[in-house]
Structure 1
Amino acid sequence: MDLSKLDPRLRAHVSGTVDVEVGALAPRAAQRSQSSYFPTSDDGCPSNRDHNIKVNQNCLNIADPDLQGRSQAQNETAIAVNQYHPQSVVGSYNDYRRGDGTCGLSFSRDAAGSWTDSTVPNGFTRGGPFNKPREYWQAGGDTSVAWDTRGNAYLSCQVFNRGSAVSPNPDQSSAFLVFRSTQNQAASWNFPGRYATVANDTAGSGAILEDKALLSVDNHVGSPFRDRIYVTWTEFTATTAYIYEVHSSDYGETFSARHLVSSVSALCQFPVSGPTGGCDNNQFSQPFTGSDGALYVVWSNYNTVDFSVTRPGPARYQVLMARSTNGGDSFGPPQRVGTYYELPDCATYTGQDAGRACVPEKASTSNSVFRASQYPSGAVNPRDPKEISVSFGSYINRHSNERNGCIPTGSVTLSEAGLYTGVRIPGACNNDILLSASSDGGNTFTGSAADPRNLTSLTVARGQRTTDQWFQWLAYNRSGSLAVSYYDRQYGSDEQTGFSDFSISGSEDLRHFAVRRVTSSSMPPPTQFSGLFWGDYTGLDASERAYPIWSDTRSPELFVCPGTATGPGNPPKLCGMKDPQGPANDQDIYASGVQIPAGDDDR
C-alpha cells in the first residue's frame, strides 16, 4: 500500500514490519556520526547467556554500515507449546538475514532447552486471484504460531510487495499465508502457503493493505470447534482500519469468507471515515478460544479522541472485545475491556521518529527511540472457561505520580501518541502493564468502566513503581496460573540509560502478583535500523512452565574493519563499532523456560 495515502489518524498504526519494508523509516532515520571501529574476536555465531537460550541459530551476516539491521536482525516474537507434547515448542519472528524481512522459524524438542532453525517456503504462492500461475512476494513478517490437538503446528505469515516507490515492480499486493507443519514437530512446512486473505494490487494503486494478522487454534479436545484455525487482522484503506476474521475447519487447507469483527458501536465516538464509519480505526487484534468453543477477539481502538479539533484531548484509547459462539461465523457487538493512555510522542521528547510513540529514558540522552505502542493480549483459563484475562499497557496508571508532574495534556494528530508533563522526571510518569478480567465469560470486565489509575497493575515490584514496562504478552498454564511477560526497566540504571531487561509476572488468583527477572543482564538500546525499530510485540506461552520469548540486543554488531579488504596481503578483518550512542548491537531472539512466580510483591 502507498502509506502516504492513509489518513494520518490511521498511518501511525501500520505495523513496523510494513513500515520498515516500504522504506518509510529511512527518511526519519537518525544519522549516527563520529563512528569508531575496534577489532573483535567475536564471530557472530549462536551463544546462550546463562538460562537465556538463543533461538535463531544463524551466525551474523556482515552488512555495510548504512544497512545496519538488513541481513541481520530478528524481532517481533511469537511462541507456542504443544499442550499434548510439552517438549515440542515452536518460535517465530521477523527474520532479516536474507536482506528483506521474512518469516523466521525455529523449533525445540527439549522444552526450549535448545533450538534448530527451519525454513518457511514463502517466496511465492499459487496465482489464485492474480490470474497467473504464481505470485512472488518480496517481504514478510508479523508472524504467529499455534498447535492443534493432533500434533500439527501452524504459522501465520504476512507477505507483501513494496511497489514502485522502492523497486521497479509496481505490485503492492499483500496477503496472509498459513503454513502447516504436519506432525513433525515444526521442523518443516507445507508449500505453498494457503491464503487466509489476499489483496490483489499488481497495478500498484496503493489502495489497500492487509496488516498485522495473528493466528489461534482451538486446541481443546472437548470443544465443538476442535482444531479450528482462526486468523484476525487489520485491513487498511485510505480512511478505514477495520478488523476481520477468517477460519479453517480442514487443518489450514481452505479458509472461510471473511467476517467483520469491529462492527458499529456507540463506544466509537469519533469515526475517521464519517459519521456512519463506526469503529473504523483499529489495530493489534488477537483471537483466542476457551474450552467451551467460544472465540474471543481483542484489539486496540482509537475512535475515542476528536482529532478534528485544534487541540485533541489526552491520548486515552480503549481495548475492545467481540465474542463468537458459532465458530467465527458471526460476532456479537464490541464491548469495552478497558481504557489506557498511549506512550509519549517520540519527536516531542527525543527529537526523533516523528509520527511515532516511544519509551524515552529519563536522562537527557535520546537513545531509546524505537517505535512502541500499547496493545492487548488475552487468554481463557483452561480450568474455567468463564475466566478471561486481558493485559495491556498504560502510561497513566496507579503508579503514575501526578503530584510529581505526570499529567496527560493532549494527543499528537500525526501519531495519536500522548503528550504529558513529567515524561523525563524520575519517579513521575511510567508505563505499567494492567489487567482487566472477566469471571462471566466476557459479559463484564473489571476494566470496562474503570479509570486506568484504578485498574489492577501486574507490574507491582518495588522497582517497577517508578519505571517503564511495555511490549507484554499473556498466557495461562495448564494449572490455571496466569503469566505475563514484558520488557522492564526496573533493574540497575535501565530507566536512566534506556537499557532494558525482560521480566515475568505471575498470579494464582488474579489479585496477588509476583515478579521474576528473566534476562541474566541488561540489554542496550537497539542500534540497528538507526535505533528506530525493535519490533511491535513479544510472545509468551505456557504449559506447566512459562516460555517467554523476546528480541535481545546484547550481541555486538560486526562490520568489516575500515582499511582492510583493500587488496593482496590485506585480508578483511572484523570490527565492532562505537559512536556517541554506544556500541552497535544486533537483534537476536532469546527464550527461557521459567517457573511462573507466585506470591505478592505489592507490599
Structure 2
Amino acid sequence: MRHEETSSDSATARVAYPRSSHGRQQMRRVLASAIVIGLLIIGATTALAGSAKERLDNDLISFTESAAGGTNGPGGGGISGVACTSSATTQPTSFAGNALLDCDSVGPHNETTIAVNPTNAANIVAASHTYLYNLDKQSAIALLRIFTEAYVSKDGGQSWTNVHPPHGSYRFLTDPALAFDGDGHLYWSNVASHDSVAGAFSDVSVIVERSDDGGITWNDPVTVAKGNGTISNGGSNVLFNDKDWIAVDRGTSRYRGSVYVTWARQQYRKDVQTESPIFFVRSRDGGATWTSGAEISGSSRLCSGQGVAGPTTRCDQNDAGFSSPIVAPDGTIYVAFLNHQAQGTSLRDQVLLVRSRDGGDTWSDPQPILGLIHDGAGDYPTNWRGDATLTGCQFRIFAAGNLAMSTATANAGQLYYVYAENLDPAATARTNIMVTTSVDGGATWSTPALVKSSRSDQIFPWAAVGADGKVRIGYVDRARTAPAGQSCAYGYTLATANDPGASSFATKRVDTGTSVASEARWFTNFPVTGNFNTRFIGDYTNIAIGPDGSVWTSWTDMRDTVDVFGRAGHTEHAAAARG
C-alpha cells in the first residue's frame, strides 16, 4: 500500500506525500493516528483556508490559476474538454527535438503512459497525472485535485491537444493506462477515489473510459472495481484498489475486441493490509458492461514465504502488484505480477505469471518468471520517507517493468519481461535494466541479461515489440551530466535489441535536455533533507510502437523551471519523443 504524511514543500506550501511499500521493515502496518491514506500520488490538502475548504467540498467544474511570475505563466482550462494545445512552435526552445505535452497548468505532470492507434500511425495519445492547485493571494498552495489528462496528437506528434476527460464524480485519479483495440477505439483505465475534508481517500476504485475519435472526446467512466471505505478510519473491511493496467485483444481469436483490466485488490482490517491478490475483469461489448472481479493470482508453493498469516500457498501478498497483462494473437491472456516473499525482517519480490486460454474464464496456477529481485529493505538507499531511492536522489523507485510479446513471424509468441535490478545491493545503488525471455509460452525463462551495463543508474523500464520482432526498452537513465552542485539528474534512453533473441542491444539518448531532480519545485522537504530533491516523478514510464514501426517514448521531464510564490525550481512535465 501507499500512505502519505503531511510535510512542508517550502515555507509557504504544505502538501501531503505518498508512501511507498519499500519501507517494508514496517510490514505494511499503518499508524492511523500519524498518517492519512493515499493513492500512488501526492495526496489531499491540509490546513486549508475556509474558502479553499469550501471549494474542496464541491464538484470542481473549471479552474484558473495565477502565479507571481514563473517561466510558464498562469494556466487554465476545463476539467472536461479541450484545455490547450502544445506544439513544436509554442513549446520552450529547451524542448527542441522532444514534445512538451502539457500546457494547461503551472503544476506538475508525471507518471506517463502512451499508445498509438493501430489504424492510424499519426494518432498518438499519451496521459499523465495533473496536479491542480489553488494558488491564493496569501501565497499558500492548496492542492484541490489530482486528475489524469490526455495529450492527443492527430498529426504524428507535431502538436498535442490537452484533453480533460469527465472522470465522473471522482476527484483524485492515478495510474493512467491506455490501450487501443484493433479498430481504433481507445480505452483508458485509472485508479480513482473520492475524498474527505480531512484529506483521506475513500472508496478507491478502478474506472474505464472509452474514446471513439482518437482521444478528443470520452464517454463517462464505468466503475469496474468498486472500493470501500477509508483506511485511516480504522475500518474492519476496507477495499483499496491499486495499480491498474489494461489490454485489448487485437488478434484473430473469437475474443477479438475484448478489453481486460488487472489490478491489486488490497484489503485492510483495522488499518493493517491483510491481503492484496491480483484481480481481473473483462468487457466484450466495448466497455459498456463488465464482469465481476475475479482473483487470478492463484496459489502455489512458490508463495509459501510471504511471511503473513493465512493460507501459506495463496499468492495474495502482492501489495501494488504492478500486474502487466498482454494478449497473444490466439487470444491467450498473460499476466505478470510481483509477489512479496519474506527475507528476514524485510520483503523482496519475485515475479510470477498466470495465463488464460479461454478469454479469462479460467486461469493457470502461477509460474515463476524471476526469483527474488533485490528490492527489499537494505537493498537500496532510502529517502527521508524510508522509500527505496537512488544514490544522490530522493524520488522513490520500483523494480517492476512490464511483460511484452512478439507477433512477428520470426519469433511469434516470444515473451519478454523487463525490470530493474540493483547489481550491488547496498546503500549505494547500481541499478541496471534486465530482460528475460520465454519461447514456450512462459513455461521457462532465460537467464536475465543486462540491456546495457553501466555504473549509472537505470530505472522505470518499459518494453514493446515491433513488427520486426525486436524488443525496444525505454528507461530513465542517469548517464547524464548534472549541473554543478546537483546530485540527481537523468534523461531517457531507448534500447533496441539487435536480434529477436535480445542477446544484445543498441542504445540511443532520446531526451534533448537533462532533467534535474535535485533542484525541484515540487515534492521536496528542505527542513528534513537540507536540499530540494524531489521524492516523486511517477512510478513508471511508457513506450509504444505504431503500425508504421515508429517508436514513441514518454517520461516525466524536469529540464524546465518555474517560479511559484517566490521559489524557483525544476518542474515536472509530461514529455514524449519519437525514438
TM-score tier, shorter chain, comes to 0.7 to 0.9
Call closer, same or farther: CA 1:340–1:517 in 2, change over 3 Å.
Answer: farther
Q: Which residue of 1 aligns with 2:574?
A: 589
Give the AA of the match of 2:487: T
Q: Establish whether residue 189 from structure 1 lines up as the match of residue 225 from structure 2.
A: no
- Give the secondary-structure state (helix, strand or coil) at the position aligned to 2:437: strand
Q: Write the distance in 2 (CA, Å) between the matches of 1:100 and 1:115.
A: 23
Give the AA of the match of 1:536: D
Q: Write the distance in 2 (CA, Å) between the matches of 1:87 and 1:331.
A: 37
1:289 is aligned, of 304, 320, 327, to 327
Q: Which residue of 2 aligns with 1:497?
A: 487
1:513 is aligned, of 498, 505, 512, to 505
Q: Write the distance in 2 (CA, Å) between the matches of 1:346 and 1:22.
A: 30
State the 1:284 CA deviation: 0.7
1:329 is aligned, of 355, 361, 365, to 361
> What are the equivalent positions in structure 2 for 1:165-314 lying under 5 Å apart?
165-166=198-199, 172-182=202-212, 184-191=213-220, 193-201=221-229, 206=235, 207-220=238-251, 222-237=252-267, 238-277=273-312, 278-282=314-318, 283-307=321-345, 312=346
Gaps of 5+ in 2: 5-18, 31-35, 47-66, 76-85, 134-143, 268-272, 525-533
Gaps of 5+ in 1: 25-36, 61-71, 125-136, 362-367, 397-405, 409-419, 424-428, 448-454, 562-576, 578-582, 595-603
Contact 2:112/2:554, CA 8 A, preserved across alignment: yes
State the 1:302 CA deviation: 1.2
2:451 is aligned, of 449, 454, 458, to 458
1:59-114 deviation digits (Å, cap 9, x = unpaired) = 42xxxxxxxxxxx1111111111122111111111111363211211111122232
Q: Write the distance in 1 (CA, Å) between the matches of 2:356 and 2:74.
A: 47
Contact 1:226/1:293, CA 8 A, preserved across alignment: yes
Contact 1:244/1:261, CA 8 A, preserved across alignment: yes
Give the AA of the match of 2:163: S
Contact 1:343/1:359, CA 8 A, preserved across alignment: no
Q: Write the distance in 1 (CA, Å) between the matches of 2:196 and 2:305.
A: 32
Contact 2:351/2:368, CA 8 A, preserved across alignment: yes
Aligned residues: 482
Call closer, same or farther: CA 1:285–1:88 in 2, change over 3 Å.
Answer: same
Give the AA of the match of 2:543: L
Q: Which residue of 2 aligns with 1:101?
A: 146
> What are the equivalent positions in structure 2 for 1:563-602 lying under 5 Å apart?
577=567, 584-594=569-579
Q: Which residue of 2 aligns with 1:86?
A: 121
Contact 1:391/1:436, CA 8 A, preserved across alignment: yes
Contact 1:346/1:352, CA 8 A, preserved across alignment: no
Give 1 or 2: higher strand fraction.
2
Call closer, same or farther: CA 1:541–1:347 in 2, change over 3 Å.
Answer: closer
State the 1:187 CA deviation: 0.6
State the 1:331 CA deviation: 1.1
- Give the secondary-structure state (helix, strand or coil) at the position aligned to 2:473: strand
Q: Write the distance in 1 (CA, Å) between the matches of 2:421 and 2:446.
A: 15
Q: Write the distance in 1 (CA, Å) between the matches of 2:306 and 2:198.
A: 30
Q: Which residue of 2 aligns with 1:34?
A: none
Give the AA of the match of 1:219: R
State the 1:306 CA deviation: 4.1
Contact 1:319/1:376, CA 8 A, preserved across alignment: no
- Give the secondary-structure state (helix, strand or coil) at the position aligned to 1:267: helix
Q: Establish whether residue 51 from structure 1 lines up as the match of residue 97 from structure 2.
A: yes
Contact 2:3/2:37, CA 8 A, preserved across alignment: no
Give the AA of the match of 1:439: V
> What are the equivalent positions in structure 2 for 1:518-597 lying under 5 Å apart?
518-525=510-517, 526-530=520-524, 531-543=534-546, 544-561=549-566, 577=567, 584-594=569-579
Q: Write the distance in 1 (CA, Å) between the matches of 2:563 and 2:163.
A: 24
Call closer, same or farther: CA 1:432–1:87 in 2, change over 3 Å.
Answer: same
State the 1:343 CA deviation: 4.8
Q: TM-score, normalised by structure 1?
A: 0.74
- Give the secondary-structure state (helix, strand or coil) at the position aligned to 1:558: strand
Contact 2:43/2:199, CA 8 A, preserved across alignment: no
Contact 1:305/1:317, CA 8 A, preserved across alignment: no
State the 1:165 CA deviation: 4.0
- Give the secondary-structure state (helix, strand or coil) at the position aligned to 1:520: coil
Contact 2:401/2:460, CA 8 A, preserved across alignment: no
Q: Which residue of 2 aligns with 1:141?
A: 174
State the 1:444 CA deviation: 1.2
Give the AA of the match of 1:263: G
Contact 1:229/1:248, CA 8 A, preserved across alignment: yes
Contact 2:194/2:204, CA 8 A, preserved across alignment: yes
Give the AA of the match of 1:433: I
Contact 2:39/2:242, CA 8 A, preserved across alignment: no
Q: Write the distance in 2 (CA, Å) between the matches of 1:235 and 1:512.
A: 37
Q: TM-score, normalised by structure 2?
A: 0.77
Call closer, same or farther: CA 1:276–1:164 in 2, change over 3 Å.
Answer: farther
Call closer, same or farther: CA 1:536–1:485 in 2, change over 3 Å.
Answer: same
Q: Which residue of 1 aligns with 2:402?
A: 377
Give the AA of the match of 1:395: N
Give the AA of the match of 1:318: Q
Q: Write the distance in 2 (CA, Å) between the matches of 1:39 and 1:143.
A: 31
- Give the secondary-structure state (helix, strand or coil) at the position aligned to 1:557: strand
1:448-490 deviation digits (Å, cap 9, x = unpaired) = xxxxxxx201124xxxx21100011110122222100010011
Call closer, same or farther: CA 1:294–1:347 in 2, change over 3 Å.
Answer: closer
Call closer, same or farther: CA 1:23–1:442 in 2, change over 3 Å.
Answer: farther
Contact 2:117/2:184, CA 8 A, preserved across alignment: yes
Give the AA of the match of 2:240: L
Q: Which residue of 2 aligns with 1:433?
A: 433
State the 1:560 CA deviation: 3.7
> What are the equivalent positions in structure 2 for 1:4-153 lying under 5 Å apart?
8-10=26-28, 17-18=39-40, 20-21=42-43, 43=73, 47=91, 49-60=95-106, 72-97=107-132, 99-124=144-169, 137-153=170-186
Contact 2:178/2:246, CA 8 A, preserved across alignment: yes
Q: Write the distance in 2 (CA, Å) between the matches of 1:166 and 1:514.
A: 47
Q: Which residue of 2 aligns with 1:426?
A: none
Q: Establish whether residue 388 from structure 1 lines up as the match of residue 415 from structure 2.
A: yes
Call closer, same or farther: CA 1:482–1:504 in 2, change over 3 Å.
Answer: same
- Give the secondary-structure state (helix, strand or coil) at the position aligned to 1:374: coil
Give the AA of the match of 1:149: G
Q: Write the distance in 1 (CA, Å) between the matches of 2:481 and 2:412.
A: 40
